[in-house]
Amino acid sequence: MIEYLILCTAAFIAGLIDAIVGGGGLVNVPALFSVYPNQIPATLLGTNKLGGVWGTATAAFNYSRVVKINWNVALAASVSAFIFSFIGAFTVTQLSPDFLRKLLPVILIGVAAYTFKRKQFGHTHTPHHFGNRERMFAFLTGGAIGFYDGFFGPGTGSFLIFLFVRYFGFDFLNASALAKIVNVACNFAALLMFGVSGHVMWLTGLMMAIFNVGGSLVGSRLAIKNGSGFVRISFLCIVSLLIIKTFYDAYCR
């Protein structure tokens, strides 16, 4: 019974965090590994995707009711992310992601430093690209992050938000909304792959999905209510935690 309580609590917190700035895997994945220490890692990751995809989809829907979604960017990036997430997942069966494990904390430190230094970064919504140029950049961004998500994964949502703010000129709230839509595509592609290969604990994943959706509803409402400034602070907090975790995974284990 205590195991289910741990998983449901983790799923709710992960949904709340993920709905604001991404990074729900920081909570969900360790919880699954602690409750099922002898389970195959791929099965735990697949179960996490089943729990997470519903929460991410809920957050995306919640944002779309309030934030004016740029569907040019959302659709182009999502299609590309879905395709390249599969390619990344296949590539990881051929190549080791160890080089990324060591590089990731350094990249995240750069992201955090850039965001912290520029106090107005992401406060205003001033799109840089339009029309076909915007769709092209969205396709490239979705492809790059989709491949990364399939190949390795940590911080996918946070990287999407940063790229949408830095290279598209969106504010943090709009960037977070778009990141959720692209994340649904990434998660669904990964879930499809894990599901076909038999690496999903369906009952556990669906139970976690219910609580993940609850957390997503709370998180997305908090972000919408408090705006880009709140999302920016949350982003910096989550990226800081990701730096600590990824540094420990890469250099201290």
- In a domain, residue 3? The reply is no
**Number of domains making up the chain:** 1
- In a domain, residue 4? The reply is no
- In a domain, residue 136? The reply is yes
**What is the pLDDT, as a whole number, of residue 122?**
67
97 vs 68, more confident: 68
**What is the pLDDT, as a whole number, of residue 224?**
92
Q: Can you tell me the mean pLDDT for 27-48?
A: 88
Taking the C-alpha atoms of residue 31 and residue 34, their distance in angstroms, rounded to an integer, is 5
Among 120, 77, 112, CA closest to 229: 120
Identify each DSSP E strand in 95-190 by its residue range.
none
Q: Can you tell me the mean pLDDT for 60-75?
A: 93
Q: Can you tell me the mean pLDDT for 138-154?
A: 89
Chain centroid to CA 207: 20
Q: What is residue 159's three-state secondary structure?
A: helix
- In a domain, residue 185? The reply is yes
Taking the C-alpha atoms of residue 223 and residue 10, their distance in angstroms, rounded to an integer, is 20
Range of the domain at 70: 9-32+39-251
- In a domain, residue 148? The reply is yes
Q: Can you tell me the mean pLDDT for 169-173?
A: 92
Give the pLDDT band of residue 13 (cuts 50, 70, 90): very high
- In a domain, residue 1? The reply is no
Give the pLDDT band of residue 136 (cuts 50, 70, 90): very high
Are 28 and 10 a contacting pair, CB within 8 Å? yes
Predicted structure pTM score: 0.88
Taking the C-alpha atoms of residue 172 and residue 182, their distance in angstroms, rounded to an integer, is 15
Q: Which residues of 217-243 are buried (b: 16+ CB within 10 A; e: fewer)?
A: bbbbbebbeeebebbbebbbebbebbb
Among 193, 197, 208, 250, CA closest to 32: 208
- In a domain, residue 2? The reply is no
